[in-house]
Amino acid sequence: MNIALFDAKSYDRPAFEKYGSKNGIRYKFLEARLDEDTADLAHGQDGVCVFVNDTVNAAVIDRLHALGVQAVALRCAGFNNVDVRHAYGRLHVMRVPAYSPYAVAEHAMAMLLTSIRRTHKAYIRTRDFNFSLNGLTGFDLHGKTMGVIGTGKIGRVFMDICRGFGMRVIAYDKFPGDGADYVSLEELYAQSDMISLHCPLTEETYHLIDANAIMRMKKGVVLINTSRGALIDAEALLDGIKARQIGAACLDVYEEESDIFFEDVSGHIMDDDILARLISMPNVLVTSHQAFLTQEALDNIAQTTTENLVTFFNQGTCPNELCYHCGRVDECRKHRLEKCF
């Protein structure tokens, strides 16, 4: 089985080589991202393996389909970069629904602690033998209120971590479950000292955090986004920071990250004025979509992606296949036929 793995990075290779060789899959590691210009690199391949910033739109799907590619294996959980409606009937799309919720939830907390206790600034100071504490005053998490939007796998781990710090945790989810103190979005905005986003990016959640939402939050609120960039209107965020309405922002994802994140652009002029301005703020911490990046997560991702492909090519079905009918009780074929089409 031949699989073209687009947007390959050095940290992807060891685990994919290990699970590929064990399971008869030859991964062809390509540095290029998948898009309309690079789709032809999948010539002669049975499937493609893609990540968050590869483009799997209608044109790419048509090209891959014409080349005889049968499957798109996402090596991530989110699939907002795939036109699943257009893929239906053409390409089977599968994903890694969970690989380490701990990796992402722990990174969210790491960013929060770094931001509010200024350890990133202290690290730079002490390396320069500057032992002054001026400007490093933080605040206790104990007793503060954390608002969590999206209480799925990652949100739940994050809530547990916050409770371990003695925080009061409130939550909002479109489909609330058990084990959380659910409130309306309005109440969450009004009561939270910090807000962490753990819901998927959908048409409904696009710019969930806009100027209007920011206005309804507590003055000085800390925002944490390790989910998807476009959940936040970046321009509104910048305005909120300038107006001192937002006390700090911890961003592992950014709306326009696709041409920038994961790459070294240090020798280039930054075209994105909003990102450049955000990064220049003393109370904004940006990491480059790094929350997933632990050894455990990389290993689980490679293992599940490989198992998805093996199951699909050997049995014609895959439990982790998805399509735009998935979850719709009347239309979902998978729960009857074990495959989306």
95 is known as an active-site residue: no
Q: Which residues inside 244-303 make contact with ligand NAI, applying CB under 6 A? A: 252-253, 289, 291-292
Q: Which residues inside 221-240 make contact with ligand NAI, applying CB under 6 A? A: 226-228
Could you say which of 255, 257, 307, 321 is catalytic? 257
Angstrom CA distances, 161 to 154, 248, 289, 332, stand at 11, 20, 20, 36
Could you say which of 86, 156, 228, 321 is catalytic? 228
Bridge-based pairing of strands 194-197 and 145-149 is: parallel
Interatomic CA distance for residues 240 and 236, integer angstroms? 6
228 is known as an active-site residue: yes
- CB 101 to ligand NAI: min, Å: 6
Site string for ligand NAI, 168-207 (x = CB under 6 A): ----xxxx----------------------xxxx--xx--
Nearer to ligand NAI, 46 or 233 (CB): 233
- CB 78 to ligand NAI: min, Å: 4
Q: Which residues inside 134-173 make contact with ligand NAI, applying CB under 6 A? A: 149-155, 172-173
Closest CA to 287 of 128, 106, 135: 106
- CB nearest ligand NAI: which residue? 152
Size of the site for ligand NAI (CB under 6 A): 30
Closest CA to 208 of 193, 227, 194: 227
325 is known as an active-site residue: no
Interatomic CA distance for residues 252 and 3, integer angstroms? 29
Nearer to ligand NAI, 61 or 154 (CB): 154
DSSP 114-125: HHHHTHHHHHHH
Among positions 5, 60, 84, 104, the unique one binding ligand NAI when judged by CB under 6 A: 104
Closest CA to 229 of 287, 180, 182, 188: 287
The 8-class DSSP code of residue 320 comes to: T
Report helix, strand or coil for 285: strand
**Alpha helices of the chain — where are they, by DSSP H?**
13-23, 58-66, 84-87, 101-117, 119-127, 153-164, 185-191, 211-215, 234-242, 273-280, 295-315, 334-337
Among positions 17, 23, 57, 78, the unique one binding ligand NAI when judged by CB under 6 A: 78
List active site positions. 228, 257, 289
List interacting residues with ligand NAI (CB under 6 A). 77-78, 98, 101, 104, 149-155, 172-175, 198-201, 204-205, 226-228, 252-253, 289, 291-292
